[in-house]
Amino acid sequence: MTSVVDAAIAECLSSPDSKYETIEQVKDAASALHQTHACSLCILRFLQIPFGPVYQDQEAQIYEQLGLPEQPAEPCPVCLGILSTDVARQIAEKYTSQDFDAQQVTLGIEVPKSIYVRHRSMQIFCSANTTTQVHDVVDVKDTLKYLIAQQLASHSVAVVAECDTQIDIAFAHAETARDCQFLVDQTNTANSRVAIVAKLTACSDAEFTAHFASPPPLATTRALVTVSTKRASIFVGGRYLKLERNISQTPFIVEGRRVTEHSVSEIIGNPIQQLTKCDSYNMVGSGREDADVRMLGDGRPFYIECINPRRTRTLDEDICNIERTLSTTISPVQARRLQVIRAQDTAIIKEGEENKTKHYCALVWFAHELSQEKLAEINELGKQEIVLEQKTPVRVLHRRAPLTRPRKLLALAIEHIEGRFYRVRIESEAGTYIKEFVHGDLGRTVPSLAGLADSTADIFELDVECVSLDFPPAVI
């Protein structure tokens, strides 16, 4: 019966590019490589054996089929122990343990820079002792990718060239960290992978062997591996309603102490995080109201970016369930039109900052009752556009630049409730400080409602009733 190794060698010999004519020549080259203490997979790749089932065999089986004694249990001096089915299995198991639902992944592999030096050392040895050509050797990263792909395939995960999920695999080997130092010292080459590879390419065999042994010296330790997975963010868009006061949009923390007990982002974001199993999330609203201001009407547009989500498939119904749960549990924060959106759909939130308008309803107290004539005068003025000059409010000067900004009121209406209390409705462009328009902010907003009424004014309650930005698309 033909062994897996013999079949692979036969395939290699049948190639028009093969440098060998007989199986015996291949096995003689394998014997020379074996004497360097190279591992079975490094022997296969320096023999230019193409990827296939042979690379998945146990090391002892490969040696046996090549007619070679098994190597001692020591690290390969070429790949530093990186190339093995055990390492590939460890990487695959690490990925699957993270519970990602991705069916396709890409691999990002970083090997110690000493690998490139040792690879060149082995190429020089092969040129002198076998018929292998230095430019034909199978790459160590490609070999490892093949091994990992076979392991992941058993978990129904395919390795592809490009997708939204990447497994980052980084190897480190402290023992050989100075292998490439002679290249740095000789030419002041930057100690980067690209610089090292470029110098090795330009370096002659004689120059190289004057500073580094061929074949490569033995190593006593194996390379250590760390594995992490990163996945493109997914975005959940919607509109939120804030039915109670003293709830901030995001956690409101000053000097390590929470100012408000609840936040919109946590009430909506936490269940989304649990659903998507993301590392963290960011909430971005189309503007924000103060913590003591309610958000009513159809709500304020927002999206939540789920960073490194484990779950991204079949989310639609579960996202809708979060919206339903908030509405049926008498939550002070509600969500409308909650849905998964595309990354490019989020641009409208930023673009709409300068274009959207908002409708407000305020409960305002004046120092004295306003006459019917004064109310009529203000209401008549409010039928036309009013341009405000607003300096940065005193209450935010500690965190915002002291600028004067023109802002437009598109509509203004006032009605008497009782005593010295009035209901004021305002439509304004984005970025208008409504509280400051009402009381004047020590003359920093001109004109102000207090100035128009010829009376001291203060705002007791404020609600946002409409944010006129069509986002996200209505859920059908």
Annotated catalytic sites, by residue?
Answer: 290
- Which residue in 238, 446, 467, 410 sits closest to 337, CA to CA? 238
d(CA 94, CA 98): 7
Say whether the peptide bond before residue 447 is cis (omega within 30 degrees of 0).
Answer: yes
Q: Is residue 55 a contact partner of residue 158, using CB atoms and an 8 Å limit?
A: no
Q: Is residue 168 a contact partner of residue 227, using CB atoms and an 8 Å limit?
A: yes
Backbone φ, ψ for residue 389 (5° rounding): -110, 110
- Which residue in 33, 27, 17, 122 sits closest to 65, CA to CA? 27
AA letter at 3: S
Orientation angle between helical segments 140-153 and 85-97, nearest 10 degrees: 50
d(CA 473, CA 476): 9
Enter the DSSP assignment of 142: H
Q: Where are the beta strands (DSSP E) in 155-254?
A: 158-159, 165-172, 224-231, 234-242, 247-248, 253-254
DSSP letters for 265-289: HHHHHHHHHHHHT-SEEEEEESS--
3-state class of 184 per DSSP?
Answer: helix
CA dihedral angle for residue 390, residue 395, residue 400, residue 403, rounded to 10 degrees: 20
